[in-house]
């Protein structure tokens, strides 16, 4: 799973040719640590149709504020440079895949 920053967000997420699942995360966030293995697994299994990245909210306040992220983890799917789905909190892989199936 790749890491993006305020500086790389536009190129890595907004300009991506496939949908991108962004995890807005923080090192101090227990639910973020819980969902990390789920996201890593999805990144491996769905690499042909979905890019998965993480953005540390403490180190990247500009992007965090731009998308109104207040809770961690916030999972946001971007397609063609626009956010098309937003979810807050950790969840099991099956539920997450069901929630994003229609935007892939």
pTM: 0.97
Q: Name the maximum alpha-carbon separation found in the chain.
A: 32
36 is catalytic: no
Q: In this predicted structure, what is the pLDDT of residue 91?
A: 96
69 is catalytic: no
Per DSSP, the residues of 12-58 read IIIT-SS-EEEEEE-TT-HHHHHHHHHHHHHHHHTTTT-EEEEEETT
**Which one of 13, 32, 35, 76 is the catalytic residue?**
32
Please give the share of the chain, as a percent, with pLDDT higher than 70: 100
**Which one of 4, 21, 22, 29 is the catalytic residue?**
29
- Domains, the chain, ordered by start: 2-103 (3.40.30.10)
Taking only the tens place, the pLDDT of each residue in 26-55 is 999 999 999 999 999 999 999 999 999 999
């Amino acid at each position: 799973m790749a890491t993006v920053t305020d500086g790389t967000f536009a190129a890595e997420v907004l300009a991506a040719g496939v949908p991108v699942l962004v995890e807005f995360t923080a090192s101090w966030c227990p639910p973020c640590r819980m969902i990390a293995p789920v996201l890593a697994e999805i990144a491996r299994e769905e690499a042909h149709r979905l890019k998965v990245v993480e953005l540390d909210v403490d180190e990247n306040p500009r992007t965090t504020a731009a998308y109104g992220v207040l809770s961690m983890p916030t999972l946001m799917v971007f397609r063609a440079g626009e956010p098309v789905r937003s979810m807050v909190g950790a969840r099991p892989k099956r539920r997450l895949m069901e929630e994003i199936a229609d935007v892939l």
